Amino acid sequence: MVLLSASPCGIGRLLNVCESYAACHGLVYNASKSQCMLFRARNKCVPEVPPITLNGIPLKLVPQFRYLGHVVTSDLRDNADIERERRALSVRANMIARRFAHCSAEVKVTLFRAYCTSFYTSSLWADFTQKQYSALRVQFNNAFRALLGLPRYCSASGMFADARVDCFQATMRKRGASLVRRLRASSNGVLKMIASRFDCAYVNHCCMAHHNKNAKYDTY
């Protein structure tokens, strides 16, 4: 469960509601497993934040935590989550390359599509460094080369075209388009409102950012 508020006082009130509900239903929140994160406004000095308590126990203030598999950081940047995905991709790619080394190319391509192109929550990436994003792209290309036994410096666009597999940029654009399509088709008024605003960071990113930032890498 996640509580969000614009102020420490607001979070305190929300926690009081949780404590009252838990007391009425015979439940106890584990304060040692609960954490607090402060999202600071950029280029602004923020005064010292008073302790946030749960059942009288101060919650630990952390710079990042993993929520539903996605790494959230206090600066709202996505480098940490991209690195998580890069490491996970490396593990999955090495596993299938080792276990299915003697399979046909068709089987390997099917396994690659199933295990190496999901990029969980990648549609939410909107603020990251080009270096971190490129590292994931390189890992994606190298994973495909290793799986099919291709030369290290062969053309990325050429090998994906020959295998009829989406390259990294195409995969990411499809993930972004899928998110925007689902948001616009949602029956939730808030989600539809967000999807209709092109000044929204995530919607703008899904529609434009991957293509604009990475088009120059398509042929390498």
Residue ranges in 100-209 assigned as alpha helix (H) = 105-116, 130-148, 156-163, 168-184, 189-195, 201-204
Residue of higher predicted confidence among 144 and 124: 144
152: confidence class by pLDDT, cuts 50, 70, 90? confident
The reported pLDDT for the residue numbered 212 is: 47
- Average of per-residue pLDDT values in the chain: 86
CB atoms within 10 A of CB 89: 20
Residue 208, pLDDT score: 62
Res 218 pLDDT > 70: no
Q: How far apart, in whole angstroms, are the C-alpha atoms of residue 114 and residue 191?
A: 29
Task: Delimit the domains of the chain by residue range.
Answer: 8-62, 78-217
Q: What is the pLDDT of residues 18-60, one digit of tens each?
A: 999 999 999 988 888 899 998 877 777 666 788 899 988 999 9
Q: What 3-state class would DSSP assign to 91?
A: helix
Tell how many helices (H) and how many strands (E) occur in the chain.
Answer: 9, 6
